[in-house]
A = this chain, B = another copy of it.
Amino acid sequence: MKKKISEAVIKRLPRYYRCLTELEQEGADRISSHALSVRMGVTASQIRQDLNCFGGFGQQGYGYKVHDLRAALRGLIGLDRTYSMIILGAGNIGQALANYSGFDKEGFYVKAMFDVNVSLTHRTSRNIPLYHIDLLEKYLESNKVDIAVISVTQSEAQNVANRLVASGIKYIWNFTPSELSIPEDIIIENVHLSDSLFTLSYRCRENGV
């Protein structure tokens, strides 16, 4: 029987992976769940519980083999394959994501960008083609795209999301402040930067700074 994995556990997997990548780079061979918990800022029992969801990887009194656990997580997170992405909106954030080479290294390739203003093209530095947004549906007809990134202005976000969904896109990475209405079978991951910033201002106010 397949156990349903909670959202909270899924959200922690990339952190485990990131932490183990660092450990491997530092030359660590194995790590105890205690040491891992200190590094991650979660309890050792939380770690055991999380990894048990996926069959467990540790050995009593021995801890985890860094390389093996990292490899297992890599597979779990789906990083043993590549993904094609497109970016909708070539503004500040869209350009920054397009120019960032870190995602390539993990197998996420930006294949094209779309904007209402195609003269922005000279600003991307990695030979990623920039098309007019009117060409979106045509592009999606003949190109397989796994993940669509939405970084248009807030007022265009819902319309762009609708067009992506109508064209068969199932995975959306949303950088606009909008809570987009999408069908239940579409997976959306939101990066609400202002929400993140506002938790800092909340703390400032709370501390009377």
Residues of A at the B interface (CB closer than 8 Å) are 10-11, 13-15, 17-19, 22, 39-41, 75-79, 81, 83, 92-93, 95-97, 99-100, 102-103, 106, 108, 146-147, 170-171, 173, 177-179, 187, 189, 191-207, 209
Contacts and interface: CB of A to CB of B under 8 A. Distances in A.
A170 B203 CA distance: 10
21 contacts: A10-B202, A13-B202, A14-B199, A15-B192, A18-B177, A18-B179, A19-B179, A75-B205, A76-B205, A78-B198, A78-B204, A79-B198, A92-B95, A103-B194, A106-B194, A106-B198, A146-B209, A147-B200, A147-B204, A187-B203, A189-B196
Contacts of A106: 194, 197-198
A192 B110 CA distance: 19
Most chain B C-beta atoms within 10 Å of own C-beta, residue among A95, A102, A202: A202
Contacts of A202: 10, 13-14, 76-78
B11 A77 contact: no
Contact of A194 (B93, B102, B197, B203): B102
A171 B200 contact: yes
